[in-house]
Amino acid sequence: MRTLAVLLATLLFAAGLASQPLAARTLSYANFPPASTVPCVQMERWAEEVQKRTNGAITVKTYPGSTLLTARNMLRGVQTGQADIGCISMSYQPGAFPFSFALSQPVGFTSATTASVTLWKMFEKYKPQEFEAVKVVAMFTSAPSNLMSRVPVKTLDDMKGLEIRGAGNLSDVLARLGAVPVSMPMPETPEAVQKGVVKGLLTSFEVLKDMNFAEMCRYQTVMNLPVYPFAVIMNKRTWDSLPKDVQKVIDDLALEQAEWTGKYWDAHVQTALDWSKETYGIEVYDLSEADQSAMMQAVAPLIDAWKVEARTAGLDPEAILKDIETFKAEAEA
């Protein structure tokens, strides 16, 4: 049985290699949200840069909008080779990335640029076991999370009992704030908001424009809650089959890509807010100072919960948090 499986795998693998011309290769890159969103904009940028820097030896064929793999089967799909490359929002797999989830704790990131660069540097320094089954080619995070809602939320008290869409750690954040968290990937969220299954969503503001949430959610509350970390992963066999010079191009691009994506994301949040004000007359509320500090107090225990999770995974949470602070300060300097 086992021998047969190995034989089959070998045959399938050989067939896969044979179908690729040696000189030029096309790699498939799957992404789950619509083409208009930042994760897909950074995908196109990465694809262009890799094509340029390998002088056309590598062509990247992109599949935005879950046309090749959905959010829910992205990780497995890349591991099994349904796509060569895929983009994952780590929070969609609670428990799967105990190291990287340090970044989605309330550790005080105020921009996608700083958080993205920090995430990549942390990954490089620690080479965490959680990504052992794949090759990580890029990493970035969203901008800090804020509330977009169909009803005005001007105080923390207004959050109580409100059904809000989040994912992973951001759903835990919602629970700590007294809201009723409902977890789902981004592509399922417009319908949930539209049907009233949830009253709003917690993520970065640029989706007001990119997914037109501003049409349904006219009320925004600035909360500066944690970022969502992303990883762009490549199938291990695909990676191993690439020439060394191509591998170098990809490795050399990673830090720059994190910074490019973070900067684009931060700028795009502002563009989207301006557009939403002009197009739909959205309202943007700031919490009072008292509510802001109450909010930070309410979410602080999440860090302790993460520490327990990290220790269980054999990690040193104190060292990780210290390094995050160092890289954050470096990036902000």
Residue ranges binding ligand 3IO (CB under 6 A): 33, 37-39, 89, 142, 167, 185-186, 203-204, 207, 228
CB of 148 to ligand 3IO, least distance (A): 11
The residues with which 26 forms a beta bridge, in sequence order, are 59
DSSP per residue, 143-180: PPEEEEESS---SGGGGTT-EEEE-THHHHHHHHTT-E
Smallest gap from residue 57 Cβ to ligand 3IO (A): 30
Bridge partners, residue 234, by sequence: 85, 135
How far is the C-alpha of 265 from the C-alpha of 111, rounded, in Å?
A: 9
Q: Give the distance between the most distant pair of CA atoms in the chain.
A: 66
Which is closer to ligand 3IO, CB of 98 or CB of 185?
A: 185
**What helix, strand, coil percent values describe the chain, rounded to 5?**
55, 20, 30
When the beta carbons of 199 and 307 are compared against ligand 3IO, the nearer one is 199
User: How near is the Cβ of 229 to ligand 3IO at its closest, in Å?
Assistant: 9
Q: Closer CB to ligand 3IO, residue 33 or residue 317?
A: 33
SS3 311: helix
Nearer to ligand 3IO, 122 or 207 (CB): 207
Task: Decide: 116 and 255 in contact? Cβ < 8 Å.
Answer: no
Cβ 22 to ligand 3IO, closest distance in Å?
A: 36
Which residue's CB is nearer to ligand 3IO, number 54 or number 259? Answer: 259
Question: Minimal distance in Å, beta carbon 195 to ligand 3IO?
Answer: 18
CA distances from 198 to 8, 169, 208, 217, 220 (A): 46, 18, 16, 11, 15
